[in-house]
Amino acid sequence: MRRIDKPRPKRSKERYPKPRLQSSAAFESLALAFIEGLDDMGDTMEEILRTAVSPFRGEARLKLRKYLDDITADRFSDAELTRLWNATPANVVFYEQGGLRIFLRLIRDRL
């Protein structure tokens, strides 16, 4: 009996597919606020979050709010959000499932 091979599917030219979740310049700027220790930013979580968003004004503030609203929607997984966050220079790590999403929503609510 002779075996007939099916043609192999063509491979994508890109070795790795483009991630669904793309960073923004405003998000990268926000992450820069979290390079140093959180203790230097304030004594309470409220102070820390307000300090992190304080450089954003006007249109930049609105763009960051919309971006955070988009990425914290339930259509992106916690793993996707974590990959996005870990690609920034931020030193803050989230160990609990959903912790980063909650944190980003808290920031969004202060914009």
Task: Give 7-20 pLDDT, tens digit per residue.
Answer: 655 555 555 455 57
**What is the predicted pLDDT for the residue at 16?**
47
Backbone φ and ψ of 82, nearest 5°:
-65, -40
Are 42 and 50 a contacting pair, CB within 8 Å? yes
Whole-number Cα distances in Å, 33 to 11, 15, 54, 80? 40, 33, 10, 21
Whether the CB-CB separation of 84 and 29 falls below 8 Å is answered with no
Per-residue pLDDT at 70 exceeds 70: yes
Determine the angle formed by the axes of helices 99-108 and 58-71, rounding to 10 degrees: 150
pTM here is 0.78
pLDDT (average), residues 47-75: 93
pLDDT surpassing 70 at residue 4:
no
Q: Residue type for 86, please?
A: N
Distance CA(53)–CA(103), nearest Å, equals 13
